[in-house]
Structure 1
Amino acid sequence: MTGRDSGAAADADPATTRHPVAELDDVTKEYRSGGETIAALADVDFAVEPGEMVAVIGPSGSGKSTLLNVLGLLDVPTSGTVRLDGDDVTDYDDEARTMARRRTIGFVFQSFHLVPMLTAVENVLVPTMFVQGDQTPRARALLERMGLDDRLDHRPDQLSGGQRQRVAIARALVNEPRLLLADEPTGNLDRDTGRNILEEFERISTEAEVGVVAVTHDELVTEFTDRTVELVDGVIQ
């Protein structure tokens, strides 16, 4: 096993085993390009358990981003089944998919996608626009936990790359997701900052039993995960 010594799933009591946070069952995703059909994913079986960190590696064009998008309900498979916490969400309409994402999934994008004119706190609050009650205390607490207590009112252009990444992580966690999806989480960061970010992912996974899936080219990521999945030409090796 690559990465952490043991995963949450490995130590689970069979009598109390829960559903995976997210699961793909025989999933294929095809695109039409230039008059031909391209299979970005081909008959993929994949699952992530509560409290488990999984790295997904593979060459460019291997289907890693498509896998992340299907898991995150941003894309619909051509065939196969997608489940969240044991519920079949494959045929959800747009509204139901949006609600399921908001309830279950947090995203950390490589380019952060922070709103330039908003402060760190305001950026973290963006996913809570339709949530009842003032979520500002939770947003501030998350940023403080990330070591950004002196950057709460700073805009993205006033933050370093590592600080912007921490704001993005706090934003992904503000709705208390069960699944955290990260696209190249260390891609824009120096080695030390990348390691700090991965340690934060590891802590979130362990303490909150969040399933974490990180798509990456960085071998450092695999040092922190419970297992590594290789994807080549849309097929898990």
Structure 2
Amino acid sequence: MKTASVQTTVPPLALRDVTRRYDSGGGGEVTALANVDFAVASGEVVAVVGPSGSGKSTMLNILGLLDEPTSGSVELRGEPTVGLSEAERTDARRESLGFVFQDFHLLPTLSAVENVRLPTAFLPEDATERARSLLELVGLGDRLDHTPDELSGGQKQRVAIARALINEPDVLLADEPTGNLDRDTGTAILEEVRRIADEAGVGVVAVTHDDLVTEYADRTVELVDGVLRDV
């Protein structure tokens, strides 16, 4: 399964000595991430595992520029993102990152094509044809005009993957990509993710509790109490 050709150039996304602390509410602090160094290469699939409360969601949010570290830095293509305005962070997310959510987050009144092209809604170019091509890429060429309630769980996840790819991101960030799927459907989704990484050179970071995901990853890292280590 682990067939990706991983590039050795500057990684598209990296954490450099990242620590994230939160106010515990009682005058103390909780350390969600402690001095984390991490990078994903183009075409590489990395699984992030660990028990609940270990910091996986915090790590994904910081990688996705949805949260900021207390110390350390996030780098996109080697450039630090510290100091970017909110508008600049939004632009960076749109240009470089794709998100696949556990619960799909599809709009129920929109067709598959309309859901996929939604991230481009405020851009001047019409992305309909690219949305159609991406849905065909993930095996949904015959479901272009179906709404979410006309799709299975696996098909919804494929739509979510296509939507995450609409802006040609460098990195795909996936939160429990098989969490709501049976094993056969989960396997099919992971084969699609693996193929996208191999053929399009997209880096993938998948936060998961599912051992199946690790079988399709080039490497697995584990978070325990905010500390990251290789498995």
Contact 1:62 1:234 in 2 (8 A): yes
Aligned to 1:34: 25
CA drift of 1:199 comes to 0.7
Q: Quick one: which of 195, 199, 204 aligns to 2:187?
A: 195
Offset of residue 223 of structure 1 = 0.6
- How far apart, CA to CA, are the structure 2 residues paired with 1:28 and 1:41? 5
Native 8 Å contact 2:5 2:198 kept in 1: no
Counterpart of 1:203 in structure 2: which amino acid? Answer: R
Structure 1 Cα separation of the partners of residues 199 and 137 of structure 2: 13
Q: Distance in 2 between matches of 1:173 and 1:179?
A: 9
TM-score, normalisation: structure 1? 0.94
Alpha-carbon distance, 1:34 to partner: 2.3
Question: Counterpart in 1 of 2:2?
Answer: 4
Displacement of 1:6: 6.1
Deviation at 1:7, TM superposition (A): 5.0
Judge conservation of contact 1:7–1:226 (CA < 8 Å) in 2: no
Shift of 1:115: 0.6
Deviations 1:142-162 (A, max 9, x none): 111211122111111111000
**For 1:73-119, what per-residue CA distance to the aligned partner results, in whole angstroms no more than 9, with x for missing partners?**
00011100110011111221100000000000000000000011111
Alignment partners' CA distance in 1, 2:162 and 2:10: 26
Aligned equivalents of 1:133 and 1:101: distance in 2? 18
Cα distance per residue 1:42-89 (max 9 Å; x no partner): 110000011110000000000001100000000011100110011111
**Which amino acid is 2:40 matched to?**
V
Contact persistence 1:6–1:226 (CA under 8 A): yes
1:21 aligns with 2:20: no
In structure 2, what is the Cα distance between the partners aligned to 1:18 and 1:7? 12
Correspondences of 1:1-237 after superposition (within 5 Å): 4=2, 8-9=6-7, 17-35=8-26, 36-237=28-229
Contact 2:47/2:208 (CA < 8 Å) preserved in 1? yes
1:34 is paired with a residue whose SS is coil
Q: Secondary structure at the match of 2:66?
A: coil
| Conservation of the 8 A alpha-carbon contact between 1:58 and 1:231 | yes
Partner Cα distance (2:197, 2:110) in 1: 28
The answer for unaligned runs of 5 or more in structure 2 is none
Within 2, Cα distance between the matches of 1:106 and 1:182? Answer: 8
Instruction: Report sequence identity in percent.
Output: 65
Question: Quick one: structure 1 residues 59 and 138, their matched pair in 2 at CA, closer, same or farther if it must change by over 3 Å?
Answer: same
Whether the aligned pair in 1 keeps the contact of 2:4 and 2:43 (CA below 8 Å) is no
**Residues matched between the structures, number:** 228
What is the one-letter code of the residue matched to 1:112?
F
4+ long deviations beyond 6 Å: none
CA distance in 2 between counterparts of 1:145 and 1:7 reads: 20
Q: Please, what TM-score do these two structures have when normalized by structure 2?
A: 0.96
Residue 150 of structure 1 aligns with an amino acid whose one-letter code is D
Structure 1 unaligned blocks of 5 or more: 10-16
